[in-house]
Amino acid sequence: MDYFRNIGLIGRLGSKGVVDTLKQLIRFLNDQGLHAVLDERIAELMPGHGQQVCKQKMMGEICDLVIVVGGDGSLLGAARSLAQSHVPVLGVNRGNLGFLTDIAPAEIEQKVAEVLEGKYTVESRFLIDVLVKRNGEPIGEITALNDCVLHPGKAARMIEFELYIEGQFVYTQRSDGLIVSTPTGSTAYALSGGGPIMHPKLDALVLVPMFPHTLSSRPIVVDGNSELKLVISERNETYPTVSCDGQNSVTCAPGDTITIHKKPHKLKLLHPLNYDFYQTCREKLGWGAKLGD
């Protein structure tokens, strides 16, 4: 256990189950002689915890490992905060689906102990940066691990926009919007929009139109290093929104441009040794089990 000495703990707010699991983790880590560091927001819900506290963004600077307790949404937020620091992240599922947070609360001590002993696999998941410009000037910059979504916001009206990939014009589309998803996000919103499931190791992006005006508009898979540009048509009467991971957003205006490209820093995601992406798909998506099982 020489490598992981300082363990950051992040938890989803508003859940007693998360707080109970964090208390269990603190006791376990202290018994192992390790140093727990609590995210300041969850620490406020645990008076008398006696542990070091810091801002989530600082955890990458002082921790060797960060454990996120919650659902995939909690891990998405942590990923955006921590990717630049390269600190490895481990997820404990206290949410619903749990494609990213794959340790169950019942096996937390066993699985965390195995990880601390070096028994784990490492995945690199890339993120995307989204830049919105108005009259050539930046008005907003946000990051996503799952997806970037152009949508009408509160107004249920179609959006007209142009799509460029690597500077090449692709099409003008009228639709409810567009989902640009990483492989990580392909099992999230893009899946419900009719997009393909992409293996996490793929270096690719998928573009999924949302209720397009033409039935010939279909998802497109492009190289992960592609630069994408969306140009909001001047003819739009509405002000659409661009959202990242469903958590951060920027309101756009007719004529704005949205540029999307891969972030240089990747998320270092740890899994227990028995992690199996296809098994996770079977469990979470209800795929058929092996005959005879």
pLDDT at res. 208:
98
First vs last Cα of the chain: how many Å apart?
Answer: 38
Q: Which residues pair with 150 in a beta bridge?
A: 178, 242
Parallel/antiparallel/unpaired status of strands 204-210 and 120-134: unpaired
| Whether 72 is catalytic | yes
The predicted-structure confidence for 197-245, as pLDDT tens digits, reads as follows 999 999 999 999 999 998 899 999 999 999 999 999 999 988 999 999 9
Q: Residue 52 region, left (φ>0) first, then alpha (ψ -120 to 50), else beta?
A: beta
Q: Is the pLDDT of residue 1 over 50?
A: no
* Three-class secondary structure assignment of 55-99: CHHHHHHHCCEEEEEECHHHHHHHHHHHHHHCCEEEEEECCCCCC
Domains of the chain: 6-118 (3.40.50.10330), 127-264 (2.60.200.30)
| Catalytic pick among 31, 64, 72, 256 | 72
